[in-house]
Amino acid sequence: MITKLVRLLRREQFQVVHTHMLQATIVGQLAAQIAGVPMRLVTRHYTPDVYARKQPLMRWLDHHLARKATHVIAVSGAVRDGLVEQGRVPPERVSVIHNGIDLQAFDADRTDPPLSWGTPGEPGVWLGCVGSLFHRKGHADLLRALVKVIEVQPQTRLMLVGEGPEQARLEALARELGIADHVLFAGFQSQIPALVRRFDYYVHPSLHEPFGIAILEAMAAGKAVIGTNTGGIPELVIHGETGLLVPPSDPVALAAAILHLVSNPATAQPMGARGRQRVERYFNIRVTVDKYQELYHRLTGMGCAPDVPAGILTV
């Protein structure tokens, strides 16, 4: 693959190679170095703790190639800090450009929710959480918090959207805690806008979270967010304004935050509205695209004119 990519880069005379994620960075940046591409960019989407279990050689290559890149883009300040402190990338060669979502497409998706939600008008509160079922996503803490929420609000239910290696363990934990009837494991779903609009509140209990696209989708749907104060989440959710933040690995604090919003919908609704406004202003995909375009032109010395052609390969 590297050999083929080197040939392509040389034949087409690309000026910029821009790679995302671990494997793409290893393959793409090695090929770009061999081919002599003058501008090599890496976007880092993760903090070091997220991929700590990867093979040591892959981690070393990832750090080495980030340091050798012309410039590195971090999707959050937390990712930037990891690059500078642990990856030893000079801070002047790191920029933060947040991920964004396509609000136009999000708003245009008006499909019906693909899952049954019980009897129409049935009383109760639906909590939602979207994310792969991995340990670092903190679903076990959310299930333990749900026990305490149900003690006060017995009609509360939780939908977990996503699949992953922790599903069987989480299902067993829900049964052990006696809340299996309150939890819906929805598996993989592609119609996220339809789902998050039906949530009453969105909960994101991650132990580590470099960014959190699912949080942006919930905010775009006008939902108050209860999240953990870790990684890039505080850059998305402003505590007390667009949601509530609690320490990670703290089911008691998580339950208290959920109950606070569930018991005070007049407080939660304005939070959701302010969250939508925050996405529109800072996390619209057009903002992300414009910042990347400005960076390309600044680093290549072509100014900021959007119609200036550049040979850019994104991997």
Whether the domain at 2-100+284-314 and the domain at 104-282 fall into the same CATH topology: yes
Q: What ranges do the domains of the chain cover? A: 2-100+284-314, 104-282
**For 189-231, what is each residue's pLDDT tens digit?**
988 898 899 899 999 999 999 999 999 999 999 999 999 999 9
**For 26-45, what is each residue's pLDDT tens digit?**
999 999 999 999 999 999 99
Q: In the prediction, which pLDDT does 99 show?
A: 96
Distance of alpha carbon 131 from alpha carbon 134, whole angstroms: 8
**For 38-92, what is each residue's pLDDT tens digit?**
999 999 998 877 666 777 888 888 888 999 999 999 999 999 999 998 878 999 9
Average pLDDT over residues 87-113: 90
CATH architecture of 104-282: 3-Layer(aba) Sandwich (3.40)
Mean pLDDT for the chain? 91
Q: In the prediction, which pLDDT does 27 show?
A: 94
Distance of alpha carbon 5 from alpha carbon 110, whole angstroms: 41
Say which residue the tokens 């009837």 belong to: 181
Q: Which residues are within 8 A (CB) of 95 and not within 5 positions of it... i.e. 6 or more apart? A: 71, 72, 73, 74, 295
Say how many Å lie between the first and final Cα of the chain, rounded: 12
Distance of alpha carbon 233 from alpha carbon 274, whole angstroms: 16
Neighbours of 104 (CB within 10 A): 11
Q: Select from 183, 135, 136 the least CA-distant residue to 161.
A: 183
Average pLDDT over residues 256-284: 96
User: Does the structural domain 2-100+284-314 have CATH classification 3.40.50.11540?
Assistant: no
For CA atoms 264, 265, 268, 270, the dihedral sign is: negative
